[in-house]
Amino acid sequence: MKTELKHSLSTLILAAFMLGCGGTSDSDPLIPEIVSIEIDGTDVNSSVHAIIIDADPSQLTATVTYDDSTSANAADQLDWESNDTAVMTVLNGRITPVANGGTAAISASYRGRLFTTADKNVTITPLSDINITCEQDINVTVDSNDTLYHAEFNTAGDYTLLANGIFEDNMTVSAIGSNIEWKSSNTNVATVGETTGIITIIATGTADINVSVFNDINKTLLIDVNITQ
C-alpha cells in the first residue's frame, strides 16, 4: 500500500513541478492602469463672476489618462474641494461663488488619493454695482448720486423688481438670481419676496424696498403708493 501511495504522490509532485514551470508573461493586462488625473483649467480662464453668467465656463473637468493612451472624463466621480469655502464651493467640478470676490484653490481626489498634478486656482470677479428696474411698465428713477431709486404705483397687485449687476470687468448680468435679499420697510403698504423680488402692492402709503447682494452691495427703492382704483 505504501509503495502505491508513494508512487501516486510522486506522480502528482512531478506533474505539479511540470505545471509550475514557466512564469507570468509581460503582456498588457485586460484592464488599463490609471496614469494620471488632471483638472482641466484652460477654459476656465482662472476666473468666474460672482454671479454666474451664461458666458462663464464655471464647470471644471477632470481627465483620467490610462496607460493604453485612452482617457475619460471623471468630474462626476471625483471628490472636489475648495480650500476656501467662504469664497467658493465646488461640486462635481461646478463652481459656485459664495462671496463677492476672492480666490480659492480647487483640488480633486478619488478615494482619498490626490492624482492631480496641480490645484486649479479660480478667482471670482466681483460685482461692483447694481441697479434696480421693474419688469412691468413702471418708471424707476434714480437720484444723481446713483444711490436712491424711486417708483410710483397706482394699482394694487404683483410686480417684479430686477436687480441688474455690473462687474469689475464691465460685464453685466440682467437679473441677479442668487446671493440676493429683498426687504420691505412697511409690509402694510407692500411686501416683497425675499429672493424673488416680486413686490405685492397692498395699500396707499410709502415704503423702502432694500436689496442687498452678498450683504455687500445695497440699494434702496423708495416706493410711493397711491391706489386710485
Partner 1 sequence: MRIIAVLLSLCFSLLAESAGYIGLSIEDSTEFFLLEGKDTVNASTPQYTIKAGYGDIAGYGVEAALSYMDYTTNVFSKNDGAALMLDITLFKGWDAGHALYPYLDVGIGMGNMKVDRELESSLTFSSFNFGAGVRYLIRKNVDFDLGINYKLRTWQAVSLVSEQVKVKSHLINPYIGINYHF
Alpha-carbon gap, residue 154 to 188, rounded angstroms: 15
| Minimum CB–partner distance for residue 46 and partner 1 (Å) | 25
Q: 115-154: which residues touch partner 1 (CB under 8 A)?
A: none
Which CB sits closer to partner 1, 53 or 75?
A: 75
- Pick from 42, 54, 69, 113: which binds partner 1 (CB under 8 A)? 113
Stretch that binds partner 1, among 105-113, 121-129, 139-147, 164-172 (CB under 8 A): 105-113
Which CB sits closer to partner 1, 75 or 142?
A: 75
- Pick from 77, 103, 185, 220: which binds partner 1 (CB under 8 A)? 77
| Minimum CB–partner distance for residue 146 and partner 1 (Å) | 51
Show contacts of 145-149: CB within 8 Å, 24+ apart. Answer: 147/219, 147/220, 148/220, 148/222, 149/219, 149/220, 149/221, 149/222
Stretch that binds partner 1, among 22-30, 89-97, 133-141, 153-161 (CB under 8 A): 22-30
- Pick from 48, 51, 78, 217: which binds partner 1 (CB under 8 A)? 78
| Minimum CB–partner distance for residue 18 and partner 1 (Å) | 9
| Minimum CB–partner distance for residue 48 and partner 1 (Å) | 25
Residue 9 contacts partner 1 per CB under 8 A? yes
Here the cell at position 13 is 509532485
Query: Cβ neighbours of residue 45 under 8 Å, at least 6 residues apart?
Result: 57
Which CB sits closer to partner 1, 62 or 213?
A: 62
* 221 alpha-carbon distance from chain centroid: 30
Q: 179-218: which residues touch partner 1 (CB under 8 A)?
A: none
Which CB sits closer to partner 1, 72 or 86?
A: 72
For partner 1, what does the binding mask look like between residues 36 and 75, x meaning CB under 8 A?
-x--------------------------x-x-----xxx-
Using CB under 8 A, list all residues that contact partner 1: 1, 4-5, 8-9, 12, 15-16, 19-20, 22-34, 37, 64, 66, 72-74, 77-78, 110-111, 113
